[in-house]
Amino acid sequence: SGVFAQALTLGKVVIVTEDTFISSELVRYGSGIAYRYGVPGSLTEAIKIAVNNIETMKEKAQKTKDLYYQIHNPKRYVDLLLELRI
């Protein structure tokens, strides 16, 4: 998701649905929490956990934003396309 990538490169804490590509990225880079879509109370619980741990999550988000941007940026995208020689 573009919104997810933007949030990570800006050092923002995110809440995403479990069992998705985005949640696997979240596990790799941190700075947020996942909830189970369709399970009553799951989103509410995720928000509560995020609020209770916001400072730790903010610190992790700030530490990972540069790393995420090094991998996911316009120049790297163009370079990958050129390597593929489409």
Strands (E), the chain: 14-17, 32-35
> How many Cα neighbours within 13 Å face the side chain of 84?
7
Q: Is 3 exposed, middle or buried (0-12, 13-18, 19+ CB in 10 A)?
A: exposed
Query: What is the reported pLDDT for 6?
Result: 86
pLDDT at 86: 64
Q: For position 65, what pLDDT does the model report?
A: 86
Mind listing the pLDDT tens digit of every residue in the chain (86 residues)?
788 888 888 889 999 999 999 999 888 877 899 999 999 999 999 999 999 999 999 998 998 888 888 888 889 889 989 998 76
